[in-house]
Amino acid sequence: MQIAILGTGAVGPALGKALRAAGHQVTIGTRDPDQTKARDQWAAVDLPLAAYQDLDAEVFINATNGAGSLPALQAVGDALSGKVVIDTSNALDFSQGFPPSLFVSNTDSLAEQLQRELPETRLVKMFNTMANQVMVNPGALGDDSTIFVAGNDPAARQTAASLAAELGWTDVFDLGDLTAARGLEMYLPLWVRMFSQIGRPEFNIKVVR
Amino acid sequence: MQIAILGTGAVGPALGKALRAAGHQVTIGTRDPDQTKARDQWAAVDLPLAAYQDLDAEVFINATNGAGSLPALQAVGDALSGKVVIDTSNALDFSQGFPPSLFVSNTDSLAEQLQRELPETRLVKMFNTMANQVMVNPGALGDDSTIFVAGNDPAARQTAASLAAELGWTDVFDLGDLTAARGLEMYLPLWVRMFSQIGRPEFNIKVVR
């Protein structure tokens, strides 16, 4: 499958390498490919780079930070129409320092905002409840844990769930429509606090049911 | 240990019976003991009832609903001074129907509000991330899962953690000071959504780490 990933932070390259290892054709988008290539850490990332507006794929993955997600997706433009967009982002507001608060929550979510602004996309919230190390290697935790999927289009949720399964996820919990993104995004403050206490990002929750 | 529970909904009697079975002396408080005794469902609950202002104990457990928590605790008055108060409540706002939103979140929490209003108490957030059936019988889920504890007084957290252990909890995750209650309370929208999808309240999360 042709997959385009928006964002060259930690999440984008990690997902890109794992999805390429699973047999997909992956391109990563950035605002300025030449500037990104010049960064030291990019030398180790062997994935094609394109500017956002040049991305074309069957599935897009938003791996930008929350505040930059809408402009990044808007920069892709018409190529997003009808496509599955997997949103991994979190509405983290670090303006008051650590720990972050959320810049949207409770009666709305970042994923719902993106879906409203980009109504032609089939947006799915997934991957936002864990660190990139866990996204691409769930088995390393030593016990099964849970990944969540939410979105208004059941077929899009299934596409995302299948990609998760290819990465090793054995418990993909379908939460239904995109209003579930409120809960998934509001979980982040608990994740951040657990991260502080555990002292490393390699953890996740398992829904025992 | 002498334990007083505020609240005669589902949580209070469930915790009361389990803690009495563990060997504690338990009293439950309500605004109006005679009115509560007259309710059909109370006939099955064989625990002493007292008005809030008559409660006296080493440990108090707030099992009232979120909106009623401050007035209930204030009604106990000076008896709370210096005591461990385990706050199980959630800031659920059902005024717009189901699913509920939270009436405080993100940069503050209900537990922090209660601690500020009742500075002489040693408040601990615990039990709010699960249904009462799970609080008192964690082993019934078939796999270990996690209960969280947060509060500004380490000894109070330890007292609460010990009570959880007596109820069968094997993984009590100490999240540190009471600002962690933000994450614990903001987890509720995800809990509510999982409850809707699972269709029963007997579930919990395990932190795999």
The pLDDT-based confidence of A42 (bands split at 50, 70, 90) is confident
B144–A208 CB contact, under 8 Å? yes
Which residue is associated with the tokens 């202002």?
A: B53
Q: Is-contact B15 B27, C-beta < 8 A?
A: no
A197–B176 CB contact, under 8 Å? yes
Percent of chain B's residues with pLDDT above 70: 100
Percent of chain A's residues with pLDDT above 70: 100
Instruction: Please count the other Cβ atoms lying within 10 Å of the Cβ belonging to residue A61.
Output: 29
- Angle (CA) B103-B107-B110 rounded to 5° is 45
A175–B197 CB contact, under 8 Å? yes
pLDDT of residue A86: 99
Omega within 30 of 0 (cis) for the link into A71 = no
Which residue is associated with the tokens 């794992």?
A: A18
Chains A & B: contacts with CB separation below 8 Å? 115
Q: Which two tokens stand for residue A194?
A: 């657990």
pLDDT of residue B41: 86
Q: Which two tokens stand for residue B26?
A: 């338990």
Dist CA B95 CA B101 (whole Å): 9
Instruction: Please count the other Cβ atoms lying within 10 Å of the Cβ belonging to residue B142.
Output: 9
Q: Which residues pair with A62 in a beta bridge?
A: A6, A87
Dist CA A110 CA A83 (whole Å): 18
How confident is the model over B145-191, as pLDDT tens digits?
999 999 999 999 999 999 999 999 999 999 999 999 999 999 999 99
Q: What is the dihedral of CA A56, A175, A71, A137, to 10 degrees?
A: -60
Dist CA B73 CA B53 (whole Å): 9
A204–B203 CB contact, under 8 Å? no
Backbone angles phi, psi at B56, to 5 degrees: -145, 130
The pLDDT-based confidence of B40 (bands split at 50, 70, 90) is confident
Report chain A's terminal Cα–Cα distance, integer Å.
33
Q: Is-contact B66 B92, C-beta < 8 A?
A: yes
Which chain A positions have a beta carbon within 8 Å of B184's beta carbon?
190
pLDDT at A17 over 90: yes
A191–B176 CB contact, under 8 Å? no
B187–A191 CB contact, under 8 Å? no
Q: Shortest Cα distance from B53 to chain A (angstroms)?
A: 35
Which of B103, B182, B193, B194 best tests the A interface by mutation, with the highest count of A CBs <10 A? B193
Which chain B positions have a beta carbon within 8 Å of A96's beta carbon?
107
Instruction: Please count the other Cβ atoms lying within 10 Å of the Cβ belonging to residue B91.
Output: 24
Q: Shortest Cα distance from A110 to chain B (angstroms)?
A: 14
What is the enclosing helix (H) or strand (E) of A147?
A: strand A146-151
- How far lies A129's CA from each of A183, A195, B113, in Å? 10, 12, 27
Q: Is-contact B93 B103, C-beta < 8 A?
A: yes
Which chain B positions have a beta carbon within 8 Å of A182's beta carbon?
189
Dist CA A128 CA A121 (whole Å): 19
How confident is the model over A101-159, as pLDDT tens digits?
999 999 999 999 999 999 999 999 999 999 999 999 999 999 999 999 999 999 999 99
pLDDT of residue B44: 82
